[in-house]
Chains A and B, each alone.
Chain A
Amino acid sequence: MNALVNKPPAQPQRSGEPRTELTVPEPALTEAPDSGLASSEFAEIYSQHSRAIYYLALRFLSDPAKAEDATHDVFLKAFRKMDQFRGESSWRTWLYRIAINHCRNLQQAWHDRHMFTNADDAVWENAAARTDSPLRVLETKELGQRIQKALDGLPAEYRLLLLLVADEQLSYDQVGALTEQSSDAVRGKLHRARKAFAVLFEKTA
């Protein structure tokens, strides 16, 4: 098996933040063991990154059917363009870039195209939610729905930022590269995104 797949590039650790393992064993393509895909290097890539890509698509697009289509299309695109992967970034980052472009193309609505405004910022800043307090949930059963509602209320930029930063395999630099801004800008916006999310999440209770 290829060394690159077995030993993904070391991921920089975000300073000051405890690291926990994000990745869990992901479903392998085992439906047809004799298929070309099941035994290929590409299947390894799918196995390692499909959860992250699907989750990003799901929460960004807010539609399971669209997320399923998008994940399929992203990996198909990746398969076709594997020769263009230069190894300068990790597979995860490369796939995220394809996924972000794909999801953005799907999101043609006006409000999804617009960036955050200062007026919107004021709404979050004046909101009552305390972002230094932990987010408590009594029932995790409907947590996904509540998270989706809160994310849907966020500007697309904040939504994407939170979803990318939540992936501990990505450094702030990598998140910045994916969202075309500096890591300092990521940190600054992340603070506001967290606050906005907390405000919206409280409202979903």
Chain B
Amino acid sequence: MKRQTKLTSQEQQLHQSAAQQQLQQTAACEFATAEEMLRHDALHTPVPPAIAHRLKQSIGPMPAPPRPWWRRLFE
């Protein structure tokens, strides 16, 4: 029983250590260039849903956009 407790304790330490290490790995980042950092930032910057909602309201009463002439040509 005692051994069981000890093992559990070791396992807990291992788990904690692994979790901490994983946290550090995800928190720390290295970027070769400014652009790489900006790409990362862009991927983690969500577009506010309010924009789509506002656009829908703005566009709603408007007629469908005319198709470009060069596309009408091939239709």
Contacts and interface: CB of A to CB of B under 8 A. Distances in A.
Contact of A58 (B26, B34, B45, B68): B45
Contacts of B47: 26-27, 50-51, 54, 71
B54 interface: yes
Contacts of B34: 135, 162, 166, 193-194, 197-198, 201
Interface in B33-61: 33-56, 58-60
Contacts of B60: 35-37
Contact of B43 (A4, A24, A139): A24
A139 B28 CA distance: 6
**Most A Cβ at <10 Å: residue of B38, B52, B70, B71:** B52
B51 A162 contact: no
A29 interface: yes
Contact of B65 (A72, A80, A138, A139): A80
Nearest to B38: A166
Contact of A35 (B28, B56, B62): B56
Given A37-B60, A134-B30, A163 B38 contact: yes
Contact of A76 (B30, B37, B48, B59): B59
Contacts of B70: 86-87
A144 B64 CA distance: 37
A157 interface: no
B1 interface: no
Given A42-B65, A144-B44, A166-B38, A139 B27 contact: yes
Given A76-B59, A144-B44, A83 B38 contact: no
B55 A75 contact: yes
Contacts of A35: 56, 60
Contacts of B71: 2, 4, 87
Contacts of B33: 135, 194
A194 B33 CA distance: 7
Interface of A: 2, 4, 20, 22, 24, 26-27, 29, 31-32, 35-38, 40, 42, 46, 50-52, 54-55, 58-59, 64, 68, 71-72, 75-76, 79-80, 82-87, 134-141, 143-144, 147, 162-163, 165-168, 193-194, 197-198, 201
8 contacts: A27-B46, A37-B56, A50-B52, A55-B41, A80-B62, A84-B68, A87-B68, A135-B34
